[in-house]
A = this chain, B = another copy of it.
């Protein structure tokens, strides 16, 4: 493609409509970036949904190799955009080029991993129970089961990962891998990035001669556009990464449809970190440095950013606290991806400043329009019990520290936590064995338990779990990352006494054999 035009992609058509437009903003200058993007019209939403419904059956029946080819073509296309994409992402988000390149790498890795998932076809989980006509008192029927795609999936891009959790991110890749058409609602913070990546998908769909309804991309700033997509009867599932408010609103909307549909919403998390006594004493300063670096990464714009740090007051505690303070408050200000993120962070800080806890803000000079300064909050266990707000995510470079008077206080805080994406424990010597109940309690609250590390950095591999008990995710039974994330978009079907003609190829067996795939 030549230049950005502010285009939606409706089932293969590039559509640049007139009317009111919104712009991406360069976080470093506050300036609007060309071109303008129009809110998707009701008519475009309707056409995108109708085309997805029309493409559904054929895409569900497409060969695994076709879908693998599609995903690889998208990865190649994204890489092929080269500087054009990297520059636009940087302009729209102020993320440093190195981070953009790393995120692009991760995005393409994900796409290629899901190409393998598609090609290997293991996600169908084929199972065959042979019949037995001689069984008494009733013959046993022949039963064969495999997973099939749910149907059109609506994906909401996230602001903080303009590539990896956006137009061609994990939700889209996993849905396409199993044969679900995808309609992306682009995040309004990076519409240009979305147009570039969306065009890559459009072109790949066209080149592979797939039904155009397999992919649409719609822009919009208003809640109405996303809501109309979630409410549309042909839509069968929703993927979302973002704020608790946004995610819960979509869940509520989906649950009140005439036909409720599943929403997988990953809604962020405070990612509690517990530092146990030996670790605090032996390497408290190093842990504090590591934690501050993790929290400050991209100004805390990570759903896995460590936002709540707990320990039992004691040897090493003062040095730990002092180091955290120095590193957090001494850090430079830095830009967030959009003015709305900065505004949200400021609101959060004002909110916590109205509570009777200590809130220290960094004093670095904010030079850019969306710059935020780190903040370090200190509270007592009683404060946490009195103010549930303190147990939840503080999105941005803010960290709440709680030095507990006793191990019992620490345990009671962990037991009172809601769900989080991750929980981290630092321990040395007998720390882990002597705090087993604490660690067990933490494990019950999270999707991923980390020992002696930091929660940021989500490895893309089969064993990863990116999700967790509510409110980290809307349904703890699924992960947004890893090969099992396709389970969000598939359902089992059973074929009973069906002749080969009626069976999908994967469930046909040679006559006379008795292979039971379930083992």
Is A464 part of the contact surface with B, judged by Cβ < 8 Å?
yes
Q: Which residues of B contact A501 (CB under 8 A)?
A: 432-433
Is A347 part of the contact surface with B, judged by Cβ < 8 Å?
no
Contact A461 B143 (CB under 8 A): yes
Is A83 part of the contact surface with B, judged by Cβ < 8 Å?
no
Q: Which residues of B contact A495 (CB under 8 A)?
A: 448-449, 451
Contact of A491 among B252, B464, B476, B502 (CB under 8 A): B476
Inter-chain CA distance A158–B349, complex, in Å, is 51
Inter-chain CA distance A462–B448, complex, in Å, is 30
Q: Which residues of B contact A496 (CB under 8 A)?
A: 448-451, 453, 459
Contact of A449 among B469, B482, B484, B502 (CB under 8 A): B502
Q: Which residues of B contact A127 (CB under 8 A)?
A: 462-463
Number of interface residues of A (CB under 8 A): 70
Q: Which residues of B contact A464 (CB under 8 A)?
A: 129, 143, 145, 494
Is A518 part of the contact surface with B, judged by Cβ < 8 Å?
yes
Is A226 part of the contact surface with B, judged by Cβ < 8 Å?
no
Is A344 part of the contact surface with B, judged by Cβ < 8 Å?
no
- Contact flags (1/0) for A252-271 with B, using CB distance below 8 Å? 10011001111000000000
Within A41-83, the residues touching B (CB, 8 Å) are 57
Is A141 part of the contact surface with B, judged by Cβ < 8 Å?
yes
Contact B502 A465 (CB under 8 A): no
Contact of A490 among B143, B448, B461, B477 (CB under 8 A): B477
- Contact flags (1/0) for A137-153 with B, using CB distance below 8 Å? 01011011100001000
Q: Which residue of B lies closest to A248 (CB)?
A: B260
Q: Which residues of B contact A493 (CB under 8 A)?
A: 443, 446-449, 465
Q: Which of A127, A433, A493 has the most CB of B within 10 A?
A: A493
List the 7 shortest-distance A-B pairs measured between CB atoms, nearest first: A255-B255, A465-B494, A143-B463, A145-B463, A476-B491, A448-B494, A129-B463
